[in-house]
Amino acid sequence: MILAFVEHADGQLDRLSAESLALARRLGAAVKTGVEAVAIGGESLAAAVGRHGADVLHLAQLDDGDAYVPDAWAAAVGDRIGALGPEAVVAPGSVRGLEVLAVVAARLGLPLAANCIDVHPGDPWSVTRQRWAGSLLEEATLEGPVKLLSAAPHAFPADEMVAGATDARIEPFAPTIGERERRVRVARRLAPETGGVSLTDARVVVGGGRGVGSAEGFAMIEELAGLLGGAVGVSRAVTSAGWRPHTEQVGQTGARIAPDLYIACGISGAIQHIVGCKAAKTILAINTDPDAPIMAQADYAVIGDLREVVPAIAAALRRS
């Protein structure tokens, strides 16, 4: 059996977890076994994980509810590993997914391959994974009684469903959690400063870099994003300058996005930024420098001043 650790937001399966279920399903088909899921709370997940191929949803019942307590979550996943003996455990390539799986690996002495883009079961298992912020790929082997893997963000389809699937059967369990596992926990949550479309879920992202010139210059970027029903993204240079909040940063130390369209305005395209946007289906770059690194990644390019090009696009959209 392949066990998938999944996350949710208010009972809704998140995108990266759907991607990890796609990997789990492929592994299950390769070794001719089923897929089951484990989650912390979230009874309403049964339908979603069922559509993504899981037959059973193991729900951990913790005194902290579904609040993030990393060691407690790792103990819950470890409990299911001990009880079920899966061939492999797959987690989403999120901050939490990676942290929980790393704790599980350390506690149980199991091998962990993070940020996988391809996995082939065998003797031993072979994996292809991203290293150095996605700037290179590593071919490696994985051996052990239980293989731990995380799916690289946006490497597997989140919208791939199983035809005729039914709701997963819910099996609650109560792992033993002591005070040691509760030493680190979330103290409070801060809501994002801006509302609107989530950057990581947006189908269109309009990105702005140093070339925008100032915080005030982002008014045109916001307008274009609004006309397209999208979100604003920025490069690290912009957040370093204090023009926009870090929550909008796209890149190695920010968000990794996979929109249908990414419009990069005045962004040179350093590798750290490309890591965050390379999963976009289409990239349009607007830049005065035809030799900017972003041009090598772009599907379409406009060589010109973004202060002229962006308002022109916005005007055309308003007329349509």
Sign (positive or negative) of CA dihedral 269, 273, 279, 284: negative
The answer to whether residues 310 and 295 touch, using CB atoms and an 8 Å cutoff, is: no
Spatial distance between the Cα atoms of 210 and 223, rounded to a whole number of angstroms: 18
Spatial distance between the Cα atoms of 97 and 89, rounded to a whole number of angstroms: 11
Bridge partners, residue 142, by sequence: 125
Spatial distance between the Cα atoms of 87 and 11, rounded to a whole number of angstroms: 27
Query: pTM of the full predicted structure?
Result: 0.81
Average pLDDT over residues 154-159: 91
Q: What is the largest CA-CA distance in the chain?
A: 62
74-111 residue pLDDT tens: 999 999 999 999 999 999 999 999 999 999 999 999 99
Average pLDDT over residues 110-128: 96
The answer to whether residues 199 and 249 touch, using CB atoms and an 8 Å cutoff, is: no
DSSP secondary structure letters along 125-160? EEEEEEEGGGTEEEEEEE-SSSEEEEEPTTSS-SS-
Average pLDDT over residues 171-188: 90
Spatial distance between the Cα atoms of 134 and 115, rounded to a whole number of angstroms: 9
The answer to whether residues 98 and 3 touch, using CB atoms and an 8 Å cutoff, is: no
The pLDDT, as a whole number, for residue 192 is: 59
Q: Residue 171 above 60 pLDDT?
A: yes
> Which one-letter DSSP state was computed for residue 167?
P
Band (pLDDT 50/70/90 cuts) for residue 20 is very high
